[in-house]
Amino acid sequence: MRSCARTSRLCRLRYFARKRGGLKAAWLVALLAVAGCDNSAPAQPTEASLPPPTVISGSLQLPASCAGQAPATRRPAEPSVAVDPSDPRELVASWLETQSPDRVGITVAVSQDGGGSWRRSPLPSLLTCAGGLYLHASDPWVSIGGDGTIYVSAVAIQPPAATGTAHDIVVSVSHDHGASWEAPVVLESAIAPPAQPDKEAILADPRRPGSAYAVWSEYRVTPGVEPSIDRVMFARTSDGGRTWSSPSAIYSGNDETQENQLLMTTGGVLLDVFVEASSLPGIPHPPPLPVRIRVMRSTNQGQTWSTPIDAAQFTYTNAVDPGTGNQLRFFGQDITAAAAGNALYVAWFEDHNEFSTILVARSEDAGLHWRAPRVVVREKAEAFLPTIAVAGDATVGLLWFDFRHFTSTSVTLSTDVWFSSSHDRGLHWTERHAAGPFDLRSAPAARFGPFVGDYMGLCGLPDGFAAAFIQAKPPSRNGSTDVFFSHITG
């Protein structure tokens, strides 16, 4: 609603005008009503908003061998964020960042004051210009153990060779709060064809110092054919990331699984949450395709796993530009998962012709049984790319993007960031505007459309949430995109 707080001087003038009376006073009252101080005027609805986010991406101190090749803008994307379970003021974020015209590396930012200030650095010993093996990194994921060890995982791609292109799953570790990093350890290296690892995730065990777990998809690759059959791979460490177990296949349904995410319950049950379908096509307006969110459980730190348990089933869709009809890089496989105590939550989006939805399903017994999903967002505009987390007081938070402020006559694709919270385990939700609008069309072009990432970062804090997300122009200041941070309470 419009408030007199914004026009307090005019409101005081109105008060004195009414006290004095007369024709001039009546004229002044009418004028002030036009200015917005008439309490009898109809209420103007406004959207509840969070405090403005801060930019945490920016300049980097690159090695001399890389600095000479640095581009004018670095185009950050795909952020992940984690909190130190023993010190909630320490946050670590990681994201993709172009470090030269043909090299994409990973930036790590560390905050030791709850997000008030950040120290940025490129993840060292990764790219060829910094003494590493790789031209390109993707899918950064960060997790922090109870002993303060920071783990950053990624898919890293070597320069092409005569035998093919090697794709590696790598993990970099810091034992001193991000001040220094050990050289990346290779968990798996595969040459495409015939195999290609993709979309890894990592989880530091909050109960066992030095223990962490990694999971990823490994595709069968045939030249000239879009891969659609993969298997889920897993590895673990018990010495703080210095060595890892040999990768093992923990599931294969002779179909496509994606977006593996690792969670751990209070009781120590390790879970892998993923989406599975006969295929997950990257095409505009895909045909109705049933997909499932599934959960596998391990009670012995990943040594053995249960058969998959169905958490939810929905229709695979993808987002499109509402002005042009062009495909956007947001697909139904973009699921998200979180755990708190023995409760688990999964969320996903569905974009239909007349409306879109974001839904959340919940389990109260560490993934054994699941309740029917509840609709958190339902609107005419497309809503997409949800990210879910749980705070220390069991508040559930959900971050997402939508096009509700886009108009068909606009030359820009107006996109906003939103946040909803639930204090009753997902039964009821309160929505607030988090950031935006920004023009999604101004984000860097990539396969399937403008690229801001296949996921955003959100983690629970004792008093709320830490969110790391991407916006393009006009909010971005350092290039076509920037990473923004919000400390969300309530």
The reply to whether 31 falls in a domain is yes
Tell me, yes or no, whether 109 and 195 share the same domain: yes
Does residue 136 lie within any of the structural domains? yes
CB-count exposure of residue 488 (10 Å: 0-12, 13-18, 19+): buried
8 A C-beta contact, residue 173 and residue 181? yes
DSSP for 409-451, written as a single string = T-SS-EEEEEEEEESSTTSS-EEEEEEEEEEGGGSPEETTEE-
Residue identified by tokens 């794709």 is 167
> Is 95 in the same domain as 240?
yes
> Is there a domain that residue 411 lies in?
yes
In a domain, residue 229? The reply is yes
DSSP tag of 281: -
Q: What local confidence, expressed as pLDDT, does residue 72 receive?
A: 55
Q: 333 pairs with which residues across the strands?
A: none
Residue 154: which CATH number?
Answer: 2.120.10.10
Whether 201 and 281 map to the same domain: the answer is yes
Could you tell me if residue 44 is inside a domain? no
- Whether residue 437 is preceded by a cis peptide bond, meaning omega within 30 degrees of 0, is yes
Together in a domain, 25 and 71: no
Per-residue pLDDT, 73: 66
Smallest CA-to-CA distance from 440 within 427, 453, 457 is with 453
- What span, in angstroms and rounded, lies between the C-alpha atoms of 118 and 124? 18
- Condensed to tens digits (0 to 9), the pLDDT of residues 390-408 reads 999 999 999 999 999 999 9
With 0-12 / 13-18 / 19 or more C-beta atoms within 10 angstroms meaning exposed / middle / buried, residue 34 is: exposed
One domain, residues 408 and 476: yes
Q: What pLDDT is stored for residue 68 in this prediction?
A: 73
Residue 4 confidence (pLDDT): 37
Which residue type is seen at 447? R
The band of 74, judged by pLDDT with boundaries at 50, 70 and 90, is confident
Task: Write the pLDDT tens digit of every residue in 85-122.
Answer: 999 999 999 999 987 666 889 999 999 999 999 999 99
Clarify whether residues 10 and 140 are in a common domain.
Answer: no
Angle at 16 between CA 11 and CA 20, to 5 degrees: 145
Q: Which of 57-71, 173-187, 218-232, 449-463 is predicted least confidently?
A: 57-71
Q: Are residues 15 and 125 in the same domain?
A: no
Number of domains in the chain: 2
Instruction: Note the pLDDT of residue 103.
Output: 81
Same domain flag for 58 and 152 = yes
Q: What is the pLDDT of residues 317-333, one digit of tens each?
A: 999 999 999 999 999 99
- Provide the domain limits for residue 22: 4-37
Angle (CA) 62 63 67, round 5°: 60
* Whole-number Å distance between alpha carbons of 4 and 356: 36
Average pLDDT of the chain, as a whole number: 90
In this structure, the answer to whether residues 26 and 126 fall within a common structural domain is no
In a domain, 46, yes or no: no
Its pTM stands at 0.90
Question: Could you tell me if 95 and 19 lie in one domain?
Answer: no
Q: How far apart are alpha carbons 378 and 380 in whole angstroms?
A: 7
Please choose, from the candidates 329, 243, 242, 347, the residue with its C-alpha nearest in 3D space to the C-alpha of residue 282: 329
| Residue 3 clears pLDDT 50, i.e. is over it | no
Residue 181 φ/ψ, nearest 5 degrees: -135, 140
Q: What pLDDT does 35 receive?
A: 40
Q: What is the pLDDT of residue 41?
A: 36
Q: Which residue has the higher pLDDT, 29 or 100?
A: 100
In a domain, 213, yes or no: yes
Mean pLDDT value across residues 341-357 = 95
If asked whether residues 370 and 409 sit together in one domain, one would say yes
Residue from 474, 387, 407 nearest 435 by CA: 474
pLDDT digits (tens, 9 = 90+) for 408-465: 999 999 999 999 999 999 999 999 999 999 999 999 999 889 999 999 999 999 999 9
Model pLDDT, residue 71: 65
Which H or E run contains 165? Answer: strand 165-174
For residues 123 and 104, is the Cβ–Cβ distance under 8 A? no
Asked if residues 307 and 246 have their Cβ atoms less than 8 Å apart, the reply is no
Q: Looking at residue 114, what is its pLDDT?
A: 97
Higher pLDDT, 12 or 462: 462
Same domain, 25 and 164: no
Is residue 246 assigned to a domain?
Answer: yes
Residue 377 has pLDDT above 70, yes or no: yes
DSSP calls for 27-71: HHHHHHIIIII-TTSPP-----BPPPPEE--------HHHHTT--
Return left, alpha or beta for 396; rule: phi > 0 is left, psi -120 to 50 is alpha, else beta. beta
Q: Is the peptide bond before 194 cis (omega within 30 degrees of 0)?
A: yes
Report the sign of the C-alpha dihedral through residues 94, 151, 338, 311, in that order.
positive
Q: What is the pLDDT of residue 70?
A: 63
Residue 100 pLDDT: 66
For residue range 168-209, list pLDDT tens digits in order.
Answer: 999 999 999 999 999 999 999 999 899 999 999 999 999 999
> Residue 467's pLDDT is what?
98
Provide the pLDDT for residue 43. Answer: 37
